[in-house]
Amino acid sequence: MIKPYVRQGEGEEVISPLQWMDEDMSSPDGDTSVSSHHYRASGTNPQVREMGSEDAEEDEEDEEEGQEDENKSKRRGPKKKRMTKARQERFRARRVKANARERSRMHGLNDALENLRTIMPCHSKTQKLSKIETLRLARNYICALSEALEGGLSTESRAFMETLCKGLSQPTTNLVAGCLQLGPTPGAGMRPEDRHGVRAPPPPLGGMVSYSSPGLPSPPYGTFDSAHLLHLRAMKGGAYENHSPHEYNAGGVGTPPYDGPPTPPLSISSNLVPKQEPSPHYPPPHHYSPSPVEQGLYQTQSGYDVHLEGPYNTYHPPHMPPRHITSVYRD
């Protein structure tokens, strides 16, 4: 359920305790569309003002209170409670507690996002996906895996890659593309920090494998966790193939035993798998443009657009040849 959000200034005037305490506070103009960067000069934002010299302010409030009494009959709305010093202290204490809770809540949210990052198909210690990109990639990943499970999409196909990269930013697309590329030299094209911990071939099944293309300049490629797709392959072609998808959803008798790395829950129900058609909500109408992968283009950090040809090798062992670079464009 979406809670209605009533902007200040649109409805009845609401005076918050802080505003009430701050006698010279000007009411917000309600224009929330202005970028916060345009407010930088401020110190004028009432929310940021310090609560200092409360005693002095309270004295001034007393004077204002007297003036206000004269206009009281003209004022609408609920009668304001007098903000005594004790009330101020209680309010302050409540605010401090609320801040701590809010911090804790956001940390929990960030922890969840971090967990989500670790099960994404590409994971880089040095180039962390932003929050929004993590969510977009997760959404794409679920869609791609669901389509793959339904049999309509090969994990090696270009379409799989395209689904994975839909709506992602250029850097994230590069990261994903780099992660999903093959190369005989693990660690090539990575930052030195990223090479740490990268295992040499042959890659262990289910391990974190660094895929990179020696033919490309050096975007900050991360690692591609092949475990997820290997798991997927096992489900598709292995012992689980005879089970109906619903058995997995139910998590009942047909649930395959799997003690590997955490795998995203696979939604197989078709109504949970949105088709890759333009929707009013996704991709965002104002920011979406066909991703480079959709166009077959990767823009490298050196300013080249690399056109890749052939299937996207997602979880092949490194002995597979890298994709061919058929053409290179320059801006």
Residue (64 or 309) nearer to DNA, CB: 64
Judge contact between 246 and 328, C-beta under 8 A: no
Residue (4 or 278) nearer to DNA, CB: 4
Q: How far is CA 7 from the centre of its chain?
A: 26
Give the nearest distance from C-beta 320 to DNA in angstroms: 30
Give the nearest distance from C-beta 228 to DNA in angstroms: 22
Residue (90 or 125) nearer to DNA, CB: 90
Give the nearest distance from C-beta 306 to DNA in angstroms: 18
- Beta-strand relationship, 304-309 and 208-209: unpaired
Distance of alpha carbon 227 from alpha carbon 233, whole angstroms: 10
Torsion sign across C-alpha atoms 178, 183, 186, 190 = negative
Distance of alpha carbon 175 from alpha carbon 295, whole angstroms: 16
Give the nearest distance from C-beta 3 to DNA in angstroms: 4
Q: Which residues bind to DNA, rule: CB under 7 A? A: 1, 3-6, 8, 11, 14-19, 28, 31-32, 34, 36-37, 39-48, 51, 90, 94-103, 105-107, 110, 128, 130-133, 169, 301
Give the nearest distance from C-beta 86 to DNA in angstroms: 12
Judge contact between 199 and 186, C-beta under 8 A: yes
Structure tokens at 20: 């009430």
- First-to-last C-alpha distance (Å) of the chain: 46
